[in-house]
Structure 1
Amino acid sequence: MDNAERLCDSVCIIARGEKVLDGTVTDVKEEHGQRNIALALEGDGMAGVASILRDHSLVKRVDDSNRFFEIELAPGADPQALLRRIVESGASVQRFEMIQPSLHQIFLQKVGAHGVEEGMSGHG
């Protein structure tokens, strides 16, 4: 998905024989995300932050497959409250930014983690 995001103008994603996404990368990302945060920490601050990221009143989903955490806020959650709790935990925040979700995150939203059949890694 990362390569598609960087190289393509438009995408069409088919899962289980049905089209689940179709459009320009920009339109797809704008349509699916207003409540996402990029979080990067400096040093060894993850221990205190892990429990905060499991708080379902603040965080709906976390993707740590990038160089940073991509966090989808829970409905009604205040991003400033999340930042405050992270800082109060003693973590050193390198990046805290409202972002559009990645195509990978959108795919997981639409299809779920089990949307790809076993054995279909997309490699080779």
Structure 2
Amino acid sequence: MHLTDEPDSPAAAQIEFARFRDVDIRIGTIIEAAPLEGARKPALRLVIDFGPGVGAKKSSAQVTAHYAPEAIIGKQVAAVVNFPPRQIGKFMSEVLTLGFPDADNEIVMFSPDFPVPNGARLA
């Protein structure tokens, strides 16, 4: 999902901190990754372990330009875990894996610099 592809766009309107806290962003570890069959745009089908509080969740991510499925097993990524599930073709995506477009508009997944516990919430 792209909210904006323009790095020079102005900041969004201000919101209250309480509204921001309603978005539950957690860290999880990718435990499965494979091409998402039947997707209109190339994507990977991910299973991400968010620890005992959230559990393992499925996600569709359009990240094939930078990531091979076998190379991202064990990678920690950030995701929104409290959006409603979304049907992507025949696949039900349960969380929104977060990323940013690079200079070529290809998505780079958002990941911590150092290991953190699965399920850690953005502070």
Higher relative contact order (CA 8 A, sep 6+): 1
For normalisation by structure 2, the TM-score amounts to 0.28
For normalisation by structure 1, the TM-score amounts to 0.28
- Could you say which structure has the higher helix fraction? 1
